């Protein structure tokens, strides 16, 4: 059922939702949370589609806030209500014109589900510096961003790390769940002391930077970054005295786990879609201290100049990436803190300068 309301009010939207539920034979609300999507017209289709798919696991009311012509003189609110066609939840697209677009929270608050958690999601590259201070972010117990969709991916990730508040998270971290689970399982088995490590991935991959920071913090050793042709993260190598423990995934689908004196194992490590990432974030609404720890380490190293350049993979890296040199994430080790490599080129890589916001960015992990 689709209902279009032009020049409407929140009261009329509430009445339309109630009437639609009764017409469909479901007088009870039956929603577990409210999901607020803050986006623009170009990105709303993919975001709403992902939210609709995630709603099959988490029935919710989806409020999509779309600002239109905020410079206009007259305020107007248009609403599009979708129910019962593609998922168990309720989807409301709120298009705001004129000065009203600057006060979206005043429109959203009356439409929140009572006594249920609120999650705010910014699917595009335009995210607030401190999501918890944003008017729509203040309403939420969980705030989800995606630094990979931003023009300056690493700079945006560092900005979000500096402005972190309990409840913040980013899809660049969610994309690492499979990698972290596989590495944790491998390290749970008996192994020699780890001396160092490196993460191979495409240039300007915020997920790879977070993975390197997480490994460095948890293992207490320097973990470097190596540029590869992708897609996403292509490998992790941990150096021990008895040989390397490595995970290699050159095709973005199947990984090979290699351990010293053991046969290689094939492991499924698919790159996940946006709907799967969103569904995972909706399962957990408490603060993620591990993400905070990894993001803070990355931001600290970036500010210190440790993450200004990365080395090229000798097999698949490009000559341009090789010219930038290697950068390691420093961590305590028996040999002392790692020193920055010489020959780095500071600043963004060509891919960072050319990349722009995407409606649905490809998964970077």
pLDDT value at 173 more than 50: yes
Average pLDDT over residues 328-347: 37
The 10s digit of each residue's pLDDT in 151-168 is 999 999 999 999 999 999
Backbone angles phi, psi at 347, to 5 degrees: 100, -175
Which pLDDT score is estimated for 126?
Answer: 85
> What is the average pLDDT score of the chain?
83
The model carries a pTM of 0.82
**CA 137 to CA 105: how far, in whole Å?**
9
More confident residue, 71 or 49: 49
Which pLDDT score is estimated for 362?
Answer: 53
Q: For helices 44-54 and 274-283, what crossing angle results, to 10°? A: 50
Which pLDDT score is estimated for 336?
Answer: 38
The 10s digit of each residue's pLDDT in 89-113 is 789 999 999 889 889 999 999 999 8
Which pLDDT score is estimated for 282?
Answer: 93
Which pLDDT score is estimated for 349?
Answer: 36
More confident residue, 54 or 28: 54
3-class secondary structure per residue, 70-135: CCCCCCEEEEEEEECCCCCCEEEEEEEEHHHHHHHHHHHHHHCCCCCCEEEECCCCCCCCCHHHCC
Which pLDDT score is estimated for 174?
Answer: 96
Q: Which residue has the tokens 């021990």?
A: 240
- 258 in Cβ contact with 248 (< 8 Å): yes
How does residue 364 score in pLDDT terms, banded at 50, 70 and 90? Answer: low
**CA 66 to CA 140: how far, in whole Å?**
18
Which pLDDT score is estimated for 148?
Answer: 92
Average pLDDT over residues 34-63: 92
pLDDT value at 86 more than 90: no
**CA 95 to CA 83: how far, in whole Å?**
18
Share of the chain above pLDDT 70, in %: 81
């Amino acid at each position: 059922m689709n209902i279009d309301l032009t020049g409407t009010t929140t009261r009329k939207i509430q009445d339309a939702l109630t009437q639609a539920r009764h017409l469909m034979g479901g007088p009870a609300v039956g929603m577990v949370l409210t999901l607020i999507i803050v986006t623009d017209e170009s990105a709303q289709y993919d975001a709403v589609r992902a939210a609709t798919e995630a709603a099959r696991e988490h029935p919710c009311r989806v409020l999509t806030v779309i600002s239109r012509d905020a410079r206009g003189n007259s305020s107007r609110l248009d609403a599009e209500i979708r129910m019962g066609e593609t998922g168990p939840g309720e989807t409301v697209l709120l298009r705001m014109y004129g000065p009203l677009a600057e006060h979206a929270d005043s429109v959203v608050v009356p439409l929140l589900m009572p006594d249920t958690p609120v999650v705010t999601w910014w699917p595009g590259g335009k995210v607030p510096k401190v999501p918890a201070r944003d008017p729509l972010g203040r309403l939420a117990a969980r705030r989800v961003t995606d630094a990979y969709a931003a023009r300056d991916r690493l700079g945006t990730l560092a900005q979000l790390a500096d402005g972190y508040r309990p409840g913040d998270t980013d899809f660049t971290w969610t994309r690492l769940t499979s990698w972290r689970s596989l590495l944790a399982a491998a390290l749970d088995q008996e192994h020699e002391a780890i001396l160092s490590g490196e993460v191979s991935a495409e240039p300007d991959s915020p997920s790879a930077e977070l993975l390197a920071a997480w490994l460095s913090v948890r293992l207490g050793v320097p973990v470097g970054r190596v540029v590869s042709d992708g897609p996403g993260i292509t490998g992790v190598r941990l150096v021990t005295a008895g040989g390397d423990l490595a995970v290699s995934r050159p095709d973005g689908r199947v990984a090979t786990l290699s351990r010293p004196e053991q046969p290689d194992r094939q492991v499924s490590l698919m790159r996940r879609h946006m709907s799967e990432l969103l569904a995972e974030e909706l399962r957990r609404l408490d603060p993620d201290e591990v993400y905070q720890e990894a993001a803070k380490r990355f931001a600290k190293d970036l500010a210190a100049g440790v993450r200004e350049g990365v080395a090229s993979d000798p097999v698949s890296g490009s000559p341009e990436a090789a010219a930038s040199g290697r950068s390691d994430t420093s961590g305590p080790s028996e040999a002392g803190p790692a020193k920055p490599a010489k020959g780095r080129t500071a600043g963004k890589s060509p891919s960072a300068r050319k990349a722009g916001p995407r409606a649905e960015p490809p998964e970077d992990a």
